[in-house]
Structure 1
Amino acid sequence: MTIAPARQSIDRWPGLDIVPSGPRAAVSARVARRLFEAAVNRLDVTVVVGDQTFGLGGPVAVVHRPEEFFARLGRHQLIGFGEAYLTGAWDSEDLGGFLTVLASEVSDLVPQSLQKLRAMIVARPPRFHRNSEDNTRDNIAHHYDLSNDLFEEFLDPTLSYSSALFPSDVVDRGDHHVATTPYDVPAAAGLADAQAHKIERLLDEAGVGAGTRVLEIGSGWGELAIRAARRGATVRTITLSTEQKALADQRIAAAHLSDQVSVDLCDYRAVTGTYDAVVSVEMIEAVGWEYWQTYFETIDRVLAPGGRVAIQAITMPHDRMLATKRTYTWINKYIFPGGFLPSVEVVDQITRDHTDLRLTGRLSMGAHYAETLRLWDQAFLAASRRVLDLGFDERFLRMWHFYLEYSRGGFASGYLDVNQLTFTRPA
């Protein structure tokens, strides 16, 4: 499905209506065009630019306004690429397929000889995106406080905003396990069960049962806390999203579990107490690389002797993490301010060097996130009219569709992964 370019006011999108211009923009646009055409001519895609066609054949993208597209790409690189989609300068009927091909070759789209200049060109994250205690709540609110109604439109009834775990084989790779491609193409009707399976596996890994004192870092909308409490645990779950807390409190009360679960507006750094199990689902991505050590030191500090930790984390290759950790991205600008993905290697290194925690279990399940995102995007597109009725505009529809398919491309290509990581302390 192609979403029409925005026709409404763009006051909520400051600067997006300004196309780069001037001598510098003209030069960078010419360079960007040469690099773009050379790159797509090596890929299994079809890109139509005016009366020219590039690529080896595959998912089709059409550049409707070449001058704008290359001006944005030249001046703002991948941010400009995404912004050109938001304005309708280019489009694709198979956006996820097109972006998957690009993601599979992302490290080689620009010739290696020019990548040495990368540090001189790419934008740096603004200081207010750094996830200090002063900034983190605003960064979280930018995304998670958009509207509970919005998230309810495309998530399953568990309101799980993280990768599901569908039925599949699990292969032992020696140092970790891999959940292979789901047996069947998952359908929306099975998403809630797959989300429940993901959560129950994490609780199993953390050893959650009757009498367990559980800390959850990042509440979501309360599903994991509810399931832990149903096992007989006492749960403290923390969040910085006022919208998430309000709905999580409602859902916990409706489940008659308020005496076992407390939802606190609290920064993870301020947590006190002692817990037998610490669980966290796709929250480390919002910590920021500068604070990963603090995050794990906090978990180590509050974990009781003999306790266990289970974390679900989106990860990226270690070399790409090192190369991009000071880069300001489209995702940072429009979706997750201050967000950054770790590698499994850096998580293992930090916990070994700065805590008593040891990584003792890992399940890789990236193929399952690609399917989760596909289902979310289908539901979001189907709810477009209702999203507009919530007060969002058509440009927001394009942005969210691009975000979901951009993310899906990362997992479908194997560039991104998601892992359930288990930590214990040596005896």
Structure 2
Amino acid sequence: MARLFGTDGVRGLANEAITAELALQLSVAVAHELGGRGAFGGHRATAVVGRDPRASGEFLAAAVTAGFASAGVDVLDAGVLPTPAIAYLTQLMNAEMGAMLSASHNAMPDNGLKFFARGGHKLADELEDRISERVGCDWERPTGAAVGRIRPFERGAEFYIDHLLDAVPGRLDGLRIVIDAAHGAASVVGPEVFRRAGATVDVIGGDPDGLNINDGAGSTHLEHLQDAVRLRGADMGVAFDGDADRCLAVDADGNIVDGDQIMAILALSLHERGQLTDDTLVATVMSNLGLLQAMEREGITVVQTAVGDRYVLEEMRAHGYSLGGEQSGHVIMLDHGTTGDGVLTALMLAQRVVSSGTPLGVLAGVVTRLPQVLVNVRGVDKDRVESDEGVRAAVLAVEGELGSGGRVLLRKSGTEALVRVMVEADTQERAQGYGERLASVVRERLTL
């Protein structure tokens, strides 16, 4: 049987894969696993619930709050807020659990459910599995005064904005920035916090109507932000995804600043202030070799994990590291939050521009990105990719030809009969050639 939870909650087509019934049953299961009666000193458990602006989030959030309340959990309904805001508010309110309705960067018809445990932490795999086993099981229903109460949590947005402003080490006076909010969860709080920090703000993608989230806007459509920054003469631009747990940036000339470059800029800033724990940055194996080379030059160690922000977070929590993230712009700063936060990342990046007096494009130049090619090979026996002698020999041959000026990575998909071949080299042509060469070997050796 397929696992219910994916790498970041439960996600799929709303009202088909992600139904009101599933949302209700999942929230009941979460309530029983995280806030069972008597488990917290006899008091009634509390949940914080939020969502992005998708139309389907309206009925799915209603189902989640109904499930929590029917299981005897009091609910604070925070409305439309970013995912990291719900994680923060779960921690702030000392709630036993939190729930976020969002499909992140996916198109509007999709939706998803993410849950947080006490402290605003994402759930471990084993906890998700226990919750899955509870879905649809019989349970004793509270009645009368024992049922949970649902209250609007209107101050949640203000608490989150205050938290962000407290985290930033300085003001942004004199900075002009364009924000693309993806018509998503940060459409209000994102621009507002920048204005309060002193920046002059132009907003695009800031008019959510329930149907337009991520539609030609946000971090997956940076061309609109690039045009807006150049047209308006802004110092920089930032783009969030639908639930604003990550961001990418654009410099004054419209050049894209990706997650690797953002992490490098923030790592150097923290390093200079003595706040980069063990002078270490945590990144995934997909981060560009240029990031690793830049950090080595600056005396910063890079620890690499499997792809996925949850693995970055696990490594950071295990060793107390302060900064980590992914090339996609999902950046985690554990001194200020328990998960990736696109708005916080954007604020820290902007503050570095202001405090250093250096344009974003110059700061981003610390990383020289090597051309990177990703080739997906479908219909293959992915489980043999690491053991097949022919594939291993081909990889070793390419690595020998690349030397220290490139890199090869073969990754099997977690959900499909697919192997991803990633090659970095000193030129786009060499990367493409080596990528296609290895893909041919994988296809020849591993085809089902």
Q: Given the two structures, how large is their TM-score scaled by the length of structure 2?
A: 0.29
Q: Given the two structures, how large is their TM-score scaled by the length of structure 1?
A: 0.30
The structure with the greater share of residues assigned to helix is: 1
The structure with the greater share of residues assigned to strand is: 2
- Tell me: higher relative CO, structure 1 or 2? Use CA pairs within 8 A at least 6 residues apart: 1
